[in-house]
Amino acid sequence: MDKMDAPKRFEGYLQKIAAGPKLSKDLSEEEAQDALTSILHGSVSKVRAGVFLIAARMKLETVTENIGYWKALDQTTIKHELPFTKLLQIADPFDGFNRVPYFGFFTLPVLARMGLPAYGHSTQSLPPKFGITFEDLLVKHYGVSQNDPLDKRLALLKKYSFGLLATEHTNPALENLRDLRVEIIKRPMLATLEKLLQPVRVKSGGNFLASGYFHRGYEVPMLTVARLSGFDKTVIGNGSEGTTFFGVHKEARVFIDSGENDTVEKKLVLQNMFSIVTQDQIRGAYQDLKAEKASLEFLSHLGESALKNNQGLAASLIACHAGTLAHLFGVFRTPQEGFDCAQTILAAGTCHRLLMQYLEDIR
């Protein structure tokens, strides 16, 4: 960048992107990276930072700008390596869900038992939804301290092959923008890019990401950035409320990128994924849950019941979620095979015991 100080450069960026629908201009990759770096480092006022985040979203970010913004976030991400051969990061929306109850938190130990180590990357819920996230369940329901050290969470992920990380641990500079994001209300570009950070990786070949989008078109910058993030395989789709729960509420458009060939698009829908008996089981549970309000207590009750003995409305949905993801990442040939394996695992009750041990260790 030129020799002007950060506030002066930032003033120029604001003048470019906040000039209205006809006069606003796009930033270069370097300018976008410098602008967000200035915000993350606290080099500009909160007022100017808020104006920038709003203007960037209203202008509509280009792919080039998103790459620059992601590079700024990537540089402030605390990174670690674990001795797995493969590791799946599930990154659902950081503003959570608040419609049909979603049991991704309880899917993690099932995936681990399937031979696919997995962790959820999230934070305590953000605007505009202020829904439920992985971290909300962990902190607000199970009583885990939000100030517990990153090393502890990494050690438990290594021990159990499943776990949870939050931006409080992985990117404190991003987490420090929480109050500002609450004030600006609408989702900034941070909401797209924070799901694509890679705080934990394995040495080679098995770095996997599962994430979601809600509005069509966001898959393009997400896939571009995911490649830069170093994921060996990325699965992004329009699951329920933007989560990784694909193909149940409606047909899901899922994009699979391995960084080698063209991105593959799959259309996932229940009738093409599972047997008639399994379809009816999943569909029935989902329809029954649509009438229920998602709450921490409700989720934990149904989620734990499923992990104990494969009972309750959540059981078939957890098996569906785990089976589908395990299939998409090459563990099983079909989603049905994954579903059947997940049900066997749930019936054994081991996942509940392991989750309770994990929660005891992390407190």
- pLDDT (0 to 100) of residue 16: 97
* Homologous superfamily of 6-75: Transferase, Pyrimidine Nucleoside Phosphorylase; Chain C (1.20.970.10)
Q: How far is CA 285 from the centre of its chain?
A: 24
Would you state the pLDDT for residue 204? 79
Share of the chain above pLDDT 70, in %: 99
Query: pTM of the entire structure?
Result: 0.97
Q: What does the alpha-carbon distance between residue 209 and residue 190 come to, in Å, rounded to a whole number?
A: 17
Q: Where are the domains of the chain?
A: 6-75, 80-363
For tokens 């994430």, the residue is 211
Q: For the chain, percent helix, then strand, then coil, each to nearest 5?
A: 55, 10, 35
Q: What's the pLDDT band for 146 if we cut at 50, 70, 90?
A: confident
Average pLDDT over residues 19-30: 94
Higher pLDDT pick, 156 / 146: 156
* Residue-level pLDDT at 1: 62
Structure tokens at 105: 């938190």
pLDDT band, very low/low/confident/very high, at 319 (cuts 50, 70, 90):
very high
Instruction: For 80-363, give the CATH class.
Output: alpha beta
Query: For 53-103, how does the pLDDT look when each residue is reduced to its tens digit (9 = 90+)?
Result: 999 999 999 999 999 999 999 999 999 999 999 999 999 999 999 999 999
Burial of 297 (0-12, 13-18, 19+ CB in 10 A): exposed
DSSP element (H, E) containing 264:
strand 264-268
Q: Is the pLDDT of residue 3 over 60?
A: no
* Length reported for the chain: 363
The pair of structure tokens assigned to 301 is 């009750």
Which H/E stretch holds residue 324?
Answer: helix 313-328
pLDDT at 180 over 80: yes
pLDDT tier, 30 (very low <50, low <70, confident <90, very high otherwise): very high
Is pLDDT of 259 > 80? no
pLDDT above 90: residue 303? yes
Residues 6+ apart with CB under 8 A from 303: 103, 105, 106, 314, 318
Give the 3-state secondary structure of 208-223.
EEEEECCCCCCHHHHH
| Tokens standing for residue 29 | 């990759």
Residue 61 CB partners (closer than 8 Å, separation 6+): 32, 69, 189, 221
Q: How far apart are CA 148 and CA 166, in angstroms?
A: 11
| Alpha carbons 196 and 208: distance in angstroms, whole number | 11
Q: Residue range 172-182: average pLDDT?
A: 98
Q: What is the helix (H) or strand (E) element at residue 120, kind and residue range?
A: strand 118-122
Question: Strand, helix or coil at 349?
Answer: coil
